[in-house]
Structures are given as structure tokens and as C-alpha cells.
């Protein structure tokens, strides 16, 4: 089979492995590996990790198909849901797998792998980009992941909630927080939602505890103490 015919068949896959190439070219796996290596040297195929390849050029199409199970979250998901105007230069892939390689650079974009507990593997759905199914965090879960993983400052999360709470399901947000059973996450979101006069915050009160924690884990622990939520309000203009 000619290379162009092979590539046409491979276009149907976000990522593929040696077995898929073996089936397409009708040769054994040893030959398929040599064949793929030649295509890689010519810059036609990109190797993402051991036995995972792609010919796609959109990192979003590739990202959630490198490791399974996984989904796209954090800034890339918030951007997809129009909750930020920032154009992220990295795509965060949330997975329960422990990866030795924490990131991959492809098409001027860094794909970063974030490992979570199996308990937190929910709150994502399939979307379509160029006819490919992509696993993307729902907006509420992307916000929760950001706090669970401490990858986005609370100041930025609070700014998103303040600007776009009408575009976020506060009921789903609080239900998902309860599902994580994370008391620290409940305290932080509880304070933020309560300060925005969102009645759904009341659902999070049972998870609070007296020990004070900083609202924003990325800032110095200094500010007003809120006894109801056990929070030191250390974000600008609120302390």
C-alpha cells in the first residue's frame, strides 16, 4: 500500500499505535515499527510516547487520546467554555494514570498530565472538534480541578465566578464539590459563592471545619478571618 493511502487511513485516528498500522499495511508488527520510524524521520508522523503516534496537527484533538482514562481540564477547558479570554499555551490532561513523563511538547503547545484520584474522575463529556470526539471537563469540574490540583490561583477562580456565575450551574458546582468529599475545596468555594450571594453555598456548610486555611493557596496567609467558613481572606480587596 502506498504511503499516501496509509496516511489517508490514519487521518481517521486522533492517535494510533503499531497494531493499527499493522492492520492497515498488512504486515507484521516488526515491519510496522520500521515503517513508522521512517515516517517519523520524514516528519510525517509524530511519536507522542511509547506506541502512541499521530498525524493530527491540532493538539486539542490529540490531548485526551494519549492516555486512558483522561480528559482535558483547567485553562484549556475554561477557554473552551468561554470562561476566560486567555489563550493557554498548554493543555492540561487530567488522568488517574501515574505518568513518568509529565508533559509532551507538540505544535508549540505543551500537553501536561495531571494525576488525580479515581474518586475525582467525573464531570467530563464528549465534545466534537473536526468530527473527532474529545473528552472535555464540564465548566464546573474544570473550576473544581483547578482548586483540587492548586494549578490556578483562587484570585483567578473568584474572578471567573464573579464575572460568569450566570453561565455556570451553581447547583452542579456544589454537587460536584460534595462528590469530591474535599473539605478544603468546599470551604474555598463555599466562601466564594457565599460572598457572591449564591444560595447554593449553603450545601457546602456541612463540610466546613474550624481550622483556618488561606482562601488563596498561592498568596501569603494574611487577611480577615471568616469564622463561618474557616477561611483567611487573602485575596486583593477582600481582606
Report all structural domains of the chain as residue ranges with CATH numbers, in order of start.
Answer: 3-54 (1.10.10), 58-152 (no CATH), 153-239 (no CATH)
What is d(CA 231, CA 226) in angstroms, rounded to the nearest whole number? Answer: 5
pLDDT (tens place) for every residue of the chain, 239 residues total: 789 999 999 999 999 999 999 999 999 999 999 999 999 999 999 999 999 999 999 999 999 999 999 999 999 999 999 999 988 899 999 999 988 789 999 888 999 999 999 999 999 999 999 999 999 999 999 999 999 999 999 999 999 999 999 999 999 999 999 999 999 999 999 999 999 999 999 999 999 998 999 999 999 999 999 999 999 999 975 54
- Label residue 26 left, alpha or beta by phi (over 0 means left) and psi (-120 to 50 means alpha): left
| Bridge partner residues of 111 (DSSP) | 91, 104
Q: Supply the pLDDT for residue 114.
A: 97
Q: At what angle do helices 29-41 and 18-25 cross, to 10 degrees?
A: 100
Q: Supply the pLDDT for residue 176.
A: 98
Which residues make Cβ contacts (< 8 Å) with residue 87, sequence separation at least 6?
79
Q: Supply the pLDDT for residue 239.
A: 44
Q: Supply the pLDDT for residue 81.
A: 96
Q: Whole-model pTM?
A: 0.92
Task: Give the residue from 77, 70, 28, 78 showing the smallest Cα distance to 49.
Answer: 70
Q: How many CB atoms lie within 10 A of CB 112?
A: 18
| 34-to-54, 99, 231 alpha-carbon distances in Å | 16, 26, 58
| 16-to-72, 166, 174 alpha-carbon distances in Å | 19, 40, 38
Q: Supply the pLDDT for residue 36.
A: 96
Amino acid at each position: 500500500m502506498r504511503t499516501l493511502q496509509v496516511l489517508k487511513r490514519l487521518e481517521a485516528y486522533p492517535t494510533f499505535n503499531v497494531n493499527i498500522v499493522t492492520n492497515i499495511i498488512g504486515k507484521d508488527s516488526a515491519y510496522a515499527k520500521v515503517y513508522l520510524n521512517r515516517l517519523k524521520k520524514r516528519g510525517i508522523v509524530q511519536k507522542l510516547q511509547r506506541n502512541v503516534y499521530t498525524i493530527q496537527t491540532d493538539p486539542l484533538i490529540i490531548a485526551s487520546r494519549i492516555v486512558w482514562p483522561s480528559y482535558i481540564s483547567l485553562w484549556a477547558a475554561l477557554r473552551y467554555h468561554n470562561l476566560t479570554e486567555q489563550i493557554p499555551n498548554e493543555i492540561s490532561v487530567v488522568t488517574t494514570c501515574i505518568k513518568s513523563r509529565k508533559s509532551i511538547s507538540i505544535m508549540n503547545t505543551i500537553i501536561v498530565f495531571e494525576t488525580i484520584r479515581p474518586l475525582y474522575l467525573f464531570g467530563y463529556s464528549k465534545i466534537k472538534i473536526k468530527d473527532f470526539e474529545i473528552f472535555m471537563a464540564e465548566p464546573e469540574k474544570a473550576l473544581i480541578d483547578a482548586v483540587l490540583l492548586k494549578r490556578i490561583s483562587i484570585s483567578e477562580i473568584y474572578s471567573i465566578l464573579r464575572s460568569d456565575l450566570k453561565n455556570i450551574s451553581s447547583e452542579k458546582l456544589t454537587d460536584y464539590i460534595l462528590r469530591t468529599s474535599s473539605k478544603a475545596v468546599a470551604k474555598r468555594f463555599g466562601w466564594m459563592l457565599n460572598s457572591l450571594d449564591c444560595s447554593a453555598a449553603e450545601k457546602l456548610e456541612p463540610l466546613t471545619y474550624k481550622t483556618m486555611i488561606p482562601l488563596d493557596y498561592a498568596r501569603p496567609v494574611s487577611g480577615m478571618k471568616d469564622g463561618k467558613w474557616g477561611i483567611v481572606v487573602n485575596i486583593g480587596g477582600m481582606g
